[in-house]
Structure 1
Amino acid sequence: MEFPQVVVVGSLNYDLVLKQERLPCKGETYTADDLIQGPGGKGANQAVQCAKLGLSTAMIGKVGEDRFGEALLGTLRAVGINDEGVTRQGTTGLGVVHLLPDGDYYSTLLKGANYLLTEADINEKMDLIQNCEYLLLQQEVPAHIVEYVIDIAHLSNCQIVLNNAPARFIKEESLKKVDLLVVNETEAAYMDGTPVNSIKEAERVASKLLQRVQQAVILTLGEKGAVVAHHSSIFHVPAKKVTAVDATGAGDSYIGALVYSLQKGESYENAASFASEVSALTVSKYGGSDSFPLLNNILE
């Protein structure tokens, strides 16, 4: 049996993106200008970007027994993702996104089937987790499942990548088993308990978070780029300047590209630079994972 290079354990959501000029005020009914529908969920997004860049990828998670679940499975299969670890139960998770003209957004999630994922589901696909090169985790499935998967993967030779998003508490003994932690300013501030409003503050917090994981911390800063902390080295990687129209899924695109580059043997600095290029292409188009570039798009 040929095992995938990347296994993603995480969420699969169907996104409903409302394009509008502003958010409604309390008690106000506001009319949106357009609706964009498509696949989403941090787990599925990261898996799709890995697959679009050519990595053999498997997904473990849950979707509902409804048309949204069928659509999400179709998205995975369309890019060649192994979906044998995706089971169906209940109602599919939904993401309702309010997209503003500057590309910024506000999201509300319906947990749905994502929170029906169990340890038994993980055990059924234990061979995938134990034999992959990179394991990707986020925080849109139950917390105890994330920690359970980390404990399993730590016993193998795979690299554990944790995107602590949305930010939540994770046990220190689990965090210590993580090879690479990826967080944005808000998530980093939550984990450290101090604000991150500048590159200098990001370097300080990344340095502190590095002491809690195995290898590296990448703290993304949107248009300011990212700070990478790896062993005794801390450096800033600028973002590529583009006209952003939709930031939905940009962080997931970044992580998928980061893992692709690391799997190809690149340094953390080169991998972060490549990921910046990929996410810049993502934010220049509308949509979630549908807007993620293929490797040929990047080479062009």
Structure 2
Amino acid sequence: MAELDVMVVGQVARDLVLLVDEVPQAGGTTPVRRRRELLGGKGANQAVGLAQLGAAVGLLGVVGDDEVGERLLAQARADGIDVGWVRRRPDTATGLIVDVVDADARWRYLEDIPEATLLTPDDVAGAASALRAARAVLVQLQQPARAALAAARTAREAGRLVVLDGAPADAADVDALLALADVLRADAQEVELITGDAPRDAAAGLAAGRALLRRGPSLLAVEVAGKGNAFVWPDGELFLPLSETPTVDDTGAGDAFVAALTLGVLRGSPVSGSRGTPSRRPAPPWAIRAVGPR
């Protein structure tokens, strides 16, 4: 197996994206302007993003033993992803996500994610050698907490960079996961799940990042919905507002963000201010130590 920069632990599913002018009321009908069928699920999306950025990336997830699963794995291979650790679950249908996007770029998800397509601690144990060998492990927290904890702990014990994306469903698992993390990325809803409050502005986003910093990670990337992202590390902080570029469809934008963030940290990229202005803050420690063992 070739050396991997990043091992992604997360969901693999078929994405069906439907673009419509408007979502019909109950009993109504509307034509689909555009239809796309894609390799999807947050784990696969992040793996694709990393591969497009030039990383050597592997994927640990679960698909069914059906034709859809086979096609998704073929697409992942074509995208440059090592899928040797993806599990094929017998007698299981591969997950399906239907994304309906209207003319105002508002989306609605319909998900059919069979329980058998979620990772188990045994699945993680079977991929332990890959998790220990990769330079970084990116764990999607929509997976069951026991599997996410097993993946993060395996990577941490091997001295690898541990990146967490999201928030666990059960608040009781938060502290154990944060204690294993180098980096946490959370959108506004996920921040609310973890802290009890969704940040409403830049100051609140930075404050949330500072509070979470005390619970384990050395870098926080916190979304302030509709406004931008707050970055906090032990010696500094930075708020990057959203650009004024019109949004056509933000499906998968968060996954692309996580992919870029993970590879930037792994490569020790410098912290920059908005619109390319260098930050006057000190360089964060993960920009130096993340490129090698702890």
TM range (shorter): 0.7 to 0.9
Gaps of 5+ in 2: 277-294
Matched, 1:255 2:254: no
What is the rounded CA distance, in whole Å, between the counterparts of 1:271 and 1:78 in structure 2? 35
Is 1:192 aligned to residue 195 of structure 2? yes
Higher helix share: 1
- The normalised TM-score by structure 1 is 0.83
Give the secondary-structure state (helix, strand or coil) at the position aligned to 2:61: strand
**Does the 8 A contact of 1:258 with 1:272 survive in 2?**
no
1:109-258 map, 5 Å = 109-112=111-114, 115-164=117-166, 169=171, 170-221=173-224, 223-258=226-261
Give yes or no for contact 1:20–1:100 (8 Å, CA) kept in 2: yes
2:44 counterpart of 1:39: no
Q: Is the 8 A contact 2:139 2:148 kept in 1?
A: yes
164-173 vs 29-38, greater mean Cα deviation: 164-173
Moved more, 172-181 or 118-127: 118-127
Q: Aligned partners of 1:182, 1:162: CA distance in 2, in Å?
A: 6
Aligned in 2, Cα 1:4/1:173: closer, same or farther, shift over 3 Å? same
Letter of the structure 2 residue corresponding to residue 137 of structure 1: V
**Counterpart-to-counterpart distance in 1, 2:274 and 2:148:** 24
1:11 partner SS: coil
The structure with more radius of gyration: 2
Name the Cα RMSD after superposition.
Answer: 2.2
Does the Cα contact within 8 Å between 1:9 and 1:136 map onto a contact in 2?
yes
CA contact (8 A) 2:98 2:110 kept: yes
Answer yes or no: is the 8 Å Cα contact 1:132–1:158 preserved in 2: yes
Between 253-262 and 160-169, report the one with greater CA deviation: 160-169
* SS of equivalent residue, structure 1 residue 103: coil
Give yes or no for contact 2:167–2:194 (8 Å, CA) kept in 1.
no
CA contact (8 A) 2:221 2:229 kept: yes
Task: Name 2:29's counterpart in structure 1.
Answer: 30
Give the SS at the match of 2:269.
coil
Quote the offset at 1:212 in angstroms: 1.4
1:102 aligns with 2:101: no
Conserved? CA contact 2:13–2:40, under 8 Å: yes
Superposed CA deviations along residues 234-282 of structure 1, whole A, max 9, x for unmatched, are 2101233322111110000111111222222113x349989xxxxxxxx
For 2:85, what is the secondary structure of its paired residue?
strand
Contact 1:97 1:107 in 2 (8 A): yes
User: In the aligned structure 2, how far is the partner of 1:254 from the partner of 1:180?
Assistant: 13
Distance 1:189 1:272 in 2: 25
Distance 2:50 2:186 in 1: 18
Q: Which residue of 2 aligns with 1:81?
A: 81
Which moved further from structure 2: 27-36 or 91-100?
27-36
Tell me the distance in 2 between the aligned counterparts of 1:30 and 1:146.
41
Alignment partner, residue 71 of structure 2: 71
> Once the 2 structures are TM-superposed, how far is the Cα of residue 187 of structure 1 from its aligned partner?
0.9
Residues 214, 195 of structure 1: alpha-carbon distance in 2 compared, 3 angstrom cutoff: closer
The structure whose RCO (Cα within 8 Å, separation 6+) is larger is 1
Provide the aligned length of Structure 1 versus Structure 2: 272
Deviates more, 1:6-15 or 1:169-178: 169-178
TM-score normalised to structure 2 length:
0.85
Residue 92 of structure 1 corresponds to which residue in structure 2? 94
Post-superposition offset of 1:111? 1.5
Partner SS for 1:102: coil
Identify unmatched segments of 5+ residues in structure 1.
275-300
Structure 1 CA distance, aligned partners of 2:131 and 2:211? 29
- The one-letter amino acid of 2:264's match is S
